[in-house]
């Protein structure tokens, strides 16, 4: 999911340490890393789609599909490509002109896997919009208008899933397709065996595709009640499947996304996460991809783990590029004060009751 360069200033590595110590942290400063690359792809894809430039949408998807196109943090560009279609409108009549555009794309390219995945995504989005609209109507005291919403929502998800399954022969080479299948299966209450089956089939074909692993883990962990042992076993197995290329990178990323970004509990008290292994995972990601986003994650994890040496080194590497998807101002100030100014306590102690 990435493209284009966002203009902005750059700070040299030689000055990064001085800069980090010279300025107090500000999470609101501009970013020039992973998020900008994702947003640039979103923008490119949406312009092409709005203009119904299906030919170049096909070319873009082909360029991203081999898995080597990634952002500076290592996220697949293909995720950003399809992520551009993931937002959905909330309207009273549930109209979505993008579905008609997708139909015209399918008409122009009937064998296009990208067009089919986009259509499945848009059908799901329309159903999610109905779900949100129905929930809002209850809050607004107009529940009677949407008494039939539950049946329509269930139907909508079934129709979207059926559309994808019917076109599976065209979609088997798309790793993103299997993530959608897992999502639909979980929404209709599929048993653990089915979700694991979908995941294992896809993992065999796409061992390095991180998003697939996280999609499966998110649903399974919920069904397991976030049992630390089962979650750790899944993460360890998922890491092993891509260890040749990623080292311990998936171990760090899966724990990061589930427990830090999705706030599913304190990483070092609610899980069996191993700090030396997490540390190695982030080091592996930085070695392979670099990127200020990975350095920001590492600084946060080090503050949670109470590893001042690592946190300090990462702040020196980050300079003033504080990622707002990782920090809020309070957590950044607390971590910075402890690691750089020798005040306060590790962030993990602040967050632990």
Report pLDDT for 146: 52
In contact, 159 and 129? CB cutoff 8 Å: no
Report pLDDT for 19: 36
In contact, 57 and 49? CB cutoff 8 Å: yes
Place of tokens 């082909």: 62
In contact, 316 and 20? CB cutoff 8 Å: yes
Give the least confident one: 14-28, 288-302, 318-332: 14-28
Q: How much of the chain, in percent, has pLDDT values that exceed 70?
A: 80
Residue 327 tokens, joined: 């920090």
- Phi, psi dihedral angles at 57 (to 5 degrees): -65, -40
Say how far apart CA 198 and CA 309 lie, in whole Å.
42
Report pLDDT for 91: 53
Give the least confident one: 50-54, 115-119, 229-233, 338-342: 338-342
Q: What is the mean pLDDT of residues 87-99?
A: 65
Residue 97 has pLDDT above 60, yes or no: yes
Say how far apart CA 48 and CA 3 lie, in whole Å.
13
What is the pTM for the complete model shown? 0.79
Report pLDDT for 265: 65
**Spatial CA neighbour of 344 closest among 352, 353, 333:** 333
Paired residues of 75 in beta bridges: none
Report pLDDT for 299: 92
Place of tokens 């089956």: 197
pLDDT tens digits for range 109-132: 999 999 999 999 998 888 777 776
Other CB atoms within 10 A of residue 6 CB: 13
Report pLDDT for 22: 37
Say how far apart CA 190 and CA 151 lie, in whole Å.
18
């Amino acid at each position: 999911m990435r493209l284009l360069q966002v203009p902005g200033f750059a700070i040299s590595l030689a000055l990064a340490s001085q800069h980090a110590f010279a300025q107090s942290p500000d999470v609101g400063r501009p970013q020039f890393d992973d998020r900008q690359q994702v947003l640039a792809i979103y923008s490119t894809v949406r312009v092409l789609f709005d203009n119904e430039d299906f030919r170049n949408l096909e070319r873009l998807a082909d360029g991203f599909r081999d898995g080597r196109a990634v952002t500076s943090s290592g996220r697949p560009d293909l995720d950003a490509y399809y992520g551009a279609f993931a937002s959905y409108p909330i309207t009273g009549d549930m109209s979505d002109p993008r579905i008609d555009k997708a139909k015209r794309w399918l008409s122009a390219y009937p064998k296009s896997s990208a067009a089919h995945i986009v259509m499945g995504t848009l059908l799901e989005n329309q159903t999610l919009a109905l779900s949100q609209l129905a929930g809002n109507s209850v809050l607004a005291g107009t529940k009677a208008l949407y008494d039939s919403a539950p049946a329509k929502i269930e139907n909508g998800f079934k129709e979207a899933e059926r559309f994808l399954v019917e076109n599976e022969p065209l979609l088997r080479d798309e790793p993103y397709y299997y993530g959608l299948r897992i999502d639909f299966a979980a929404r209709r209450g599929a048993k653990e065996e089915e979700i694991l089956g979908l995941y294992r089939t896809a993992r065999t074909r796409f061992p390095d595709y991180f998003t697939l692993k996280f999609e499966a883990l998110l649903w399974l962990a919920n069904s397991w009640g976030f049992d630390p042992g089962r979650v750790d076993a899944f993460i360890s197995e998922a890491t092993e499947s891509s260890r040749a290329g990623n080292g311990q990178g998936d171990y760090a990323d899966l724990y990061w996304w589930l427990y830090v970004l999705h706030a599913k509990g304190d990483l070092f008290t609610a899980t069996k996460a191993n700090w030396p292994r997490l540390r190695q995972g982030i080091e592996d990601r930085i070695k392979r991809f670099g990127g200020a986003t990975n350095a920001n994650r590492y600084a946060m994890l080090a503050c949670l783990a109470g590893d001042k040496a690592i946190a300090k080194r990462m702040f020196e590497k980050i300079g003033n590029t504080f990622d707002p998807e990782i920090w809020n101002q309070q957590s950044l100030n607390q971590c910075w004060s402890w690691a750089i100014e020798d005040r306060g306590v590790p962030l993990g102690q602040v967050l632990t009751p």
